[in-house]
């Protein structure tokens, strides 16, 4: 009887100890969730500056398109991304899983738009700043080894990008092994999150990127 009583007291102590730890962990997780939600609400994404003027890419891309594309379209993605992140933070703070899930689509679309365009602007440059010059060094060698030549890579990537149905992007990227690969993504789906490829160079085939200059003739 004495032994059974000792075992029961030991079991009770163990259960109470586990309960205390569980409650402490729950409080910690809740606190961490609140901190994360607060951090998300404080995060503000901003429109990046361009390293060149809107008109410096003419006659290939007009200054009017560049200004609209950067200051209007990209800026809208940034604005909507910040709104979506704010909603996500509020939903997490309230423990509203339905609202958390609902916020994901807006974050993917507007976050992807922000990521894609931030890369796109860095891919462009006027001739006075190196624009139009062929790649050199390791990248040039990798392109030749993978595609046969720069022209062959450009032809294949252009064809893939033109063939995108609706809106999207064509990409040159690298895989986990560092090998070059071409891919396309629909809408504003970001390359790395969608395919695992790290983006190097992107072609925007949304109509807002070219329509004022090239109308509906995407191949041009």
174-183: Cβ within 8 A, 24+ apart: 174/198, 174/200, 179/146, 180/142, 180/143, 180/146, 180/147, 181/146, 182/153, 182/156, 182/157
* Cβ(54)–Cβ(70) below 8 Å: yes
Burial 23-51 (b: 16+ CB within 10 A, else e): eeeeeeeeeeeeeebeebbeeebebeebe
Cβ burial of 84 (10 Å; 0-12, 13-18, 19+) is buried
Please report where in the chains the tokens 């309230």 appear, as a residue.
Answer: 94
The pLDDT value recorded for residue 74 is 98
- Rounded to whole angstroms, how far apart are CA atoms 90 and 86? 6
The pLDDT value recorded for residue 43 is 73
> Which residues of the chain carry a pLDDT beneath 50?
1-8, 10-33, 35-36
Beta strand segments in the chain, E: 168-174, 180-186, 198-204
């Amino acid at each position: 009887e004495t032994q059974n009583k000792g075992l029961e007291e030991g079991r009770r102590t163990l259960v109470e100890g586990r309960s205390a730890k569980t409650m402490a962990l729950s409080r910690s997780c809740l606190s961490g969730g609140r901190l994360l939600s607060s951090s998300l609400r404080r995060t503000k994404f901003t429109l990046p500056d361009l390293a060149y003027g809107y008109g410096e890419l003419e006659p290939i891309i007009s200054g009017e398109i560049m200004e609209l594309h950067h200051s209007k379209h990209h800026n809208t993605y940034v604005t909507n991304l910040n709104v979506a992140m704010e909603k996500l933070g509020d939903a997490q703070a309230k423990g509203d899983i339905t609202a958390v899930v609902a916020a994901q689509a807006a974050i993917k679309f507007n976050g992807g738009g922000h990521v894609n365009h931030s890369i796109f602007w860095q891919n462009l440059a006027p001739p006075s700043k190196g624009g139009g010059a062929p790649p050199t060094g390791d990248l040039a060698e990798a392109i030749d080894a993978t595609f046969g030549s720069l022209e062959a890579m450009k032809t294949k990537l252009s064809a893939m990008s033109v063939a995108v149905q609706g809106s999207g992007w064509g990409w040159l990227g690298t895989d986990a092994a560092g090998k070059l690969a071409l891919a396309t993504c629909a809408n504003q789906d970001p390359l790395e999150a969608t395919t695992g490829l790290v983006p190097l160079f992107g072609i925007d085939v949304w109509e807002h990127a070219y329509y004022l200059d090239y109308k509906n003739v995407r191949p041009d």
